[in-house]
């Protein structure tokens, strides 16, 4: 079995068991490479596969984060309304990262059609 598949399996298991929770930053590529005793390219490949599965997302020059699961969001925004009439909704209320993830998932899905 290829090393990146072992790492992929381990990361999936940790996410499913709650060792990495929604919104939590994953170890940097370099730190993960040291942790797993492999190259940076191997970690990059495992992270890319997790991104394809929409289990994690990346933010440029920041890192990789666990995607928020539908049932894990606290009910903080229930009392607040989002004003879509304004040119830019309140960043404290609008879930930009979730919205971006949904758009990316839709684009990936439409590529396959």
Look at residue 7 and tell me whether its pLDDT is greater than 50. yes
**Residue 92 and residue 41 in one domain:** no
The pTM of this model reads: 0.66
pLDDT tens digits for range 64-87: 999 877 555 555 545 566 666 666
Which of 18, 107, 10 has its CA nearest to residue 71?
Answer: 18
Look up the CATH number of the domain holding residue 40: 1.10.10.10
Residue 89 makes CB contacts below 8 A (sequence gap 6+) with 82, 83
Q: What pLDDT score was predicted for residue 26?
A: 94
Question: In terms of domains, do 37 and 54 share one?
Answer: yes
Give which of 48, 71, 45 is closest to 58, Cα–Cα: 48
Q: Which domain holds residue 85?
A: 74-113
CA dist 33 and 27 (Å) reads 9
CB neighbourhood size of 38 (10 A): 17
Same domain, 79 and 55: no
pLDDT of residue 39: 94
Check whether residue 42 and residue 83 sit in a common domain: no
Say how many domains are in the chain: 2
**What's the CA angle centered on 95, arms 75 and 99, to 5 degrees?**
125
Do 106 and 54 fall within a single domain? no
Contact 3, 38 (CB under 8 A): yes
Residues 103 and 56 in one domain: no
């Amino acid at each position: 079995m290829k090393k990146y598949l072992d790492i992929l399996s381990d990361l999936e298991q940790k996410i499913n068991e709650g060792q990495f929770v929604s919104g939590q930053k994953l170890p940097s590529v370099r730190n993960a490479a040291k942790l797993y005793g492999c190259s940076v390219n191997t970690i990059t490949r495992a992270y890319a596969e997790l991104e394809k599965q929409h289990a994690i997302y990346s933010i440029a020059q920041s890192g990789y984060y666990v995607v928020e699961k539908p049932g894990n969001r606290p009910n903080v925004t229930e009392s607040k309304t989002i004003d879509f009439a304004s040119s830019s909704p309140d960043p404290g209320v609008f879930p930009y990262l979730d919205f971006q993830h949904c758009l990316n998932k839709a684009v990936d899905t439409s590529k396959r059609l």
